[in-house]
A and B are shown apart, each in its own frame.
Chain A
């Protein structure tokens, strides 16, 4: 897909995700991880190149596109203070529908995937989204190498990257993702090994 069209499609996805957010807004972490999950689990061709950080899969281009969506008045971002610190709130802006209309046609067969990611992950907090997207990332690395992992092996690898989480909690999250058919490196017989 040529650059202009690809960017139109990305902007449409960002505007659509924000429009569908259950709370009426998205945080930056949620936006980043939703784009990752759309591209990786549902193969939405967004052309991002996610690599792993301690806070999960990340591509600065998502934030760059968010900035462009702000310039084009498709979304607006504010920073709010709450008891735990500061957070971003990305809300729909006046030209959201126009932006969606311009780019969404390029991803026509994936429109339902945007509903899917919101339905599956829309209510999750940022710490869980970081963990879940990291589990998917580590799973896909294993799958690319044709590995068959047990759930404890997968959880151990994830814990190496995210030592903050208990291994049992990671394994529980991985089992949930597996049951929803989002993981590829786990053999069915290995899930409860």
Chain B
């Protein structure tokens, strides 16, 4: 086969995803093929039956989107990149491939059912909290995928190392100047977010995550820093409404899909069931990669089908999921917080689970987007241009759940707690 051949894969969001032989060889590796067996949105199909898509197609979409964004930024800001970061033609080509590979591989470290089971990653020995999926992705890139990344003929002109990709994924200094592109992999306007909003909308059958992808991408640029600071990725003035639409799409997808009360309940059940299924109640560490990679949705579903997973496994199988018994407002005021404290205390042992929006991987956050001021060419926060973005408060909603068996009693307790407080 000619290493310069190109290939196309059908994609329900982008039409076709084009890839070179190097990328194709990486996709063929078992560590990447495993993503076919990791659902993108865990048990969301219990609410939106179409949401059965997987990390395999999403990762291809992220690579495609990252390539388009990269090309637009080079087109719109080659002078900034040349003047400020010293880019030449070869550097542009090499970084393009680096960004595409990082985008393609950003999710290879996901555990079964994606974010739903991330709390079961083990603690790090250095006191740095639990491992996160990006650390597993980086370990897989440095390990099982190293040869496919480094040894392909197309790499001869670039000399990309697995370490370059891994460092960009985990956000370490080993990424060197490539770190500039990290915002495309994980940032407020990254390729991951652009793809998952559109893809999750498509499969869930909702329109909440739609925005003008083409316009947004075509106006992305490197903006000179303020006060002579380094350049940052942002949006040209003409694209700020498209960026505003992205922020709104994210808000709607969070409230309507990702933080849907029943979807969240299933996240709780699959996490608790997997705690029963995993030896020691947690996943193997990134140093135990072959054991970690043996865990995928198929294995978990098989164990659940044979009666594993304890009480939560039974709830998943029988659809006896927890019921929402109380929720705060999305933007929590001091009074809301006082009500939450009182309801929580009143429920006592009837409170089966609690989920704050702040703990969700999909939380909307408070990060601003940089817009390039037409006059000064310096950065302006999107929240200055957009009153919608300015007024979109941080979502602090907290959901409280009880078991379906205790629902009536729990509702009574909530009412008693709130009486006289309104």
Q: Flag A29-64 by CB within 8 Å of B: 1 or 0 each.
A: 000000000000000000101011111000011011
For B71, the chain A residues whose CB sits under 8 A away are: none
- A and B contact pairs by CB, cutoff 8 A, 30 listed: A7-B358, A47-B129, A51-B172, A53-B171, A53-B179, A53-B187, A54-B180, A55-B230, A55-B232, A64-B366, A66-B394, A67-B394, A71-B332, A72-B334, A79-B381, A85-B226, A85-B376, A85-B379, A86-B380, A88-B381, A127-B229, A141-B173, A144-B126, A157-B173, A160-B173, A160-B176, A163-B85, A163-B86, A164-B84, A164-B230
Tell me, in angstroms, the Cα distance from A130 to B226 when the chains sit together: 13
Q: A138 near B: Cβ within 8 Å? A: yes
For A107, the chain B residues whose CB sits under 8 A away are: none
Q: A25 near B: Cβ within 8 Å? A: no
For B393, the chain A residues whose CB sits under 8 A away are: 67, 70-71
Given A54-B182, A141-B173, A160-B177, answer yes or no on A67-B376 (Cβ-Cβ < 8 Å).
no
The total of interchain contacts (Cβ-Cβ below 8 angstroms) comes to: 129
Interchain CB contact (< 8 A) of B332 among A4, A60, A68, A98: A68
Q: B297 near A: Cβ within 8 Å? A: no
Q: Is the CB of B363 within 8 A of A64?
A: yes
The chain B residues found within 8 Å of chain A, CB to CB, are 84-86, 126, 128-129, 132, 134, 170-177, 179-180, 182-183, 186-188, 225-230, 232, 331-334, 337, 356, 358-359, 363, 365-367, 373, 376, 378-381, 383-384, 393-394, 396
For A160, the chain B residues whose CB sits under 8 A away are: 173, 176-177
Q: Is the CB of A64 within 8 A of B358?
A: yes
Q: Is the CB of B331 within 8 A of A66?
A: no
Q: Is the CB of B177 within 8 A of A86?
A: no
Q: Is the CB of A64 within 8 A of B334?
A: no
For A47, the chain B residues whose CB sits under 8 A away are: 129
Q: Is the CB of A73 within 8 A of B334?
A: yes
> B398: nearest residue on chain A (CB-CB)?
A4
For A138, the chain B residues whose CB sits under 8 A away are: 173
**Closest chain B CB from A127 CB (angstroms):** 5
Q: A162 near B: Cβ within 8 Å? A: yes
Tell me, in angstroms, the Cα distance from A137 to B230 when the chains sit together: 18
**Closest chain A CB from B82 CB (angstroms):** 12
For A161, the chain B residues whose CB sits under 8 A away are: 173, 175-177, 179
Interchain CB contact (< 8 A) of A3 among B85, B230, B356, B363: B356
For A66, the chain B residues whose CB sits under 8 A away are: 366, 394
Q: Is the CB of A72 within 8 A of B337?
A: yes
Tell me, in angstroms, the Cα distance from A125 to B229 when the chains sit together: 11
For A84, the chain B residues whose CB sits under 8 A away are: 226-227, 378
Q: A95 near B: Cβ within 8 Å? A: yes
Q: Is the CB of A68 within 8 A of B358?
A: yes
Tell me, in angstroms, the Cα distance from A158 to B332 when the chains sit together: 40
**Closest chain B CB from A59 CB (angstroms):** 10
Q: Is the CB of A71 within 8 A of B379?
A: no
For B126, the chain A residues whose CB sits under 8 A away are: 144
Q: Is the CB of A85 within 8 A of B365?
A: no
Tell me, in angstroms, the Cα distance from A156 to B366 when the chains sit together: 33
For A137, the chain B residues whose CB sits under 8 A away are: 173
Given contacts A4-B356, A79-B383, A127-B227, list 12 more A-B pairs with CB under 8 A. A51-B170, A52-B179, A53-B183, A54-B232, A60-B367, A66-B366, A67-B365, A68-B332, A79-B384, A85-B379, A87-B226, A160-B176
> B359: nearest residue on chain A (CB-CB)?
A3
